[in-house]
């Protein structure tokens, strides 16, 4: 009986991990972008120069002035945030939420963001 309980617990943990990873995925999702949506690339200026979504703002989440720069934006705006892989955009969103922003979408990495939003990558 103990083995069955352990097996069921292991299956439950595996299922929750799988479901959690799926819930965070944005690459297959479509992200609606309107004329009011602000797209923010939180990579370094050098990465931005190599290619970014057309019309995106570049606000480096690792820059010392990140909080000050995003604080200049209206907190009630609609924002799509992306980076190289989705890690820095998640960190940027957490910081922006702490500053009072509410409508934030993590578009993941550059290519995923382009696919999800339909916005071209430009240099």
The model's pLDDT over 65-83, given as tens digits with 9 standing for 90+, comes to 999 999 999 999 999 999 9
Enzyme catalytic residues: 83
Residue ranges of alpha helices (H) inside 1-123 are: 2-24, 45-50, 66-71, 87-98, 110-117
What pLDDT shows up at residue 90?
Answer: 97
**How many Å apart are CA 120 and CA 31, to the nearest integer?**
14
Burial label for 41, CB within 10 Å (0-12, 13-18, 19+), is: buried
Query: How many Cα atoms sit within 13 Å of 14 on the Cβ side?
Result: 6
What pLDDT shows up at residue 68?
Answer: 98
**How many Å apart are CA 110 and CA 41, to the nearest integer?**
8
Has residue 61 got a pLDDT over 80?
A: yes
pTM summary value? 0.78
Q: Where along the chain do its domains lie?
A: 28-122
**How many Å apart are CA 94 and CA 79, to the nearest integer?**
13
Class of domain 28-122: alpha beta
72-120 residue pLDDT tens: 999 999 999 999 999 999 999 999 999 999 999 999 999 999 999 999 9
């Amino acid at each position: 009986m103990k083995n069955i309980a352990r097996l069921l617990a292991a299956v439950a943990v595996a299922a929750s991990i799988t479901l959690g990873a799926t819930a965070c995925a944005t690459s297959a999702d479509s992200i609606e972008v309107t004329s009011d949506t602000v797209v923010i690339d939180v990579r370094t200026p050098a990465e931005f120069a190599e290619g970014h979504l057309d019309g995106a703002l570049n606000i480096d989440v690792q820059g010392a002035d990140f909080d000050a720069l995003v604080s200049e934006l209206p907190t009630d705006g609609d924002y799509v945030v992306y980076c190289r892989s989705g890690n820095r955009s998640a960190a940027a969103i957490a910081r922006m939420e702490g500053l009072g922003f509410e409508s934030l979408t993590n578009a993941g990495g550059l290519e995923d963001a382009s696919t999800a939003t339909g916005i071209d990558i430009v240099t």
